[in-house]
Amino acid sequence: MDSSQTKKSQNNQQGDSHQFLQNVVVMRHGDRVDNFEPLWTMTAARPWDPHLVEEGRVRAFCTGRKIRNGLGFPIHRVFVSPFLRCIQTAHEVVYALCAVDDDPNSLSSKDVASIDPSKLKVSIEYGLSEMLNRQAIRANLAPKDGNFGFNASELQALLPAGTVDTSATRVYEELPKWEETVGGARDRYAQIIKALADKYPSENLLLVTHGEAVGVAVSAFAKDKSVYEVDYCAYVELKRPVESKNDSCSAGDFEVYTDHGKTGVSYVVGDGSLLDHV
């Protein structure tokens, strides 16, 4: 057997192997109305589920454009918390990511003439929900029966047409229960980030969620860092090596990737020294 035949035989025995980096971006929603209009909750039908103000929509769209043009890789899938502020944020971000004409003067989805919905798929994931406790939602604003009343079909209708993946199964089939502990919620965020990445190891993901989850995306995968501030639409980029072989994948550990520039997340390292924004 000559050398070429030997090499071919070895490849057949070992199987084709391919290594690549998987990217996961964890992003907070935009500016919520109750932080700008304190009396809004007094007349709201769903005071636990505020919508975005216009500034929040603009910030979300512009952040989506920043992700599209600045990270150097495409987003294949978007997963979003069922809370309205996250759904509306995802709507704007997806428009920015899928815009056919990437006009730098556009400020929101209203300025986009058309999108290419084939660029990515969007799914609602209950595991990305807000912390369901008094630390995140005042007890007098939470529904008395513990039913937050999310209707997946209605929420999907608020996302850009043609982008929703109705065949995707959720990691969390139900909303977490009211009065979960802060520690329990943080464990949930760390688990859902890894579970979604493991479910789609060959794709780059964007998770649109809440401030606490963005903080966990740093602290869970960089043990020496503690987040103290997460701005609206702030995001963290995670990377991990993935090896694909014989139709199976194995992944390494996530690392918090600190790109140049600022993305709105501030943290301290173990000795208490302040780092620049991620």
Region at 246 (left for phi over 0; alpha for psi -120 to 50; beta for the rest)? left
Place of tokens 């109305």: 33
pLDDT of 142-163, one tens digit each? 999 889 999 999 999 999 999 9
* Domain coordinates in residue numbering, the chain: 17-269
Place of tokens 């290594």: 19
Q: Are 277 and 266 in contact (CB under 8 A)?
A: yes
**In degrees to the nearest 10, what's the CA dihedral of 168, 254, 245, 172?**
-20
- For position 271, what pLDDT does the model report? 54
pLDDT of 26-43, one tens digit each? 999 999 999 999 899 999
Alpha-carbon distance of 125 to 51, in angstroms, equals: 18
Alpha-carbon distance of 255 to 275, in angstroms, equals: 17
pLDDT of 87-107, one tens digit each? 999 999 999 999 998 889 999
Asked if residue 184 has pLDDT above 90, the reply is yes
Q: What does DSSP assign to residue 119?
A: G
71, two tokens: 């990270």
Look up the pTM and report it: 0.91
- From residue 161, alpha-carbon distances to 39, 79, 98, 116 in Å are 33, 15, 11, 10
- For position 12, what pLDDT does the model report? 44
pLDDT band at 15, cuts 50/70/90? low
- For position 246, what pLDDT does the model report? 80
Return the minimum-mean-pLDDT range out of 16-20, 78-82, 83-87, 97-101: 16-20
Asked if residue 174 has pLDDT above 70, the reply is yes
The alpha carbons of the chain give a radius of gyration, in whole angstroms, of 20
Q: What does DSSP assign to residue 48?
A: T
Q: Are 257 and 241 in contact (CB under 8 A)?
A: no
CATH C-level class of 17-269: alpha beta
Q: What does DSSP assign to residue 231?
A: -
Q: Are 78 and 109 in contact (CB under 8 A)?
A: no
Q: What is the SS3 string spanning 65-92?
A: HHHHHHCCCCCCEEEECCCHHHHHHHHH
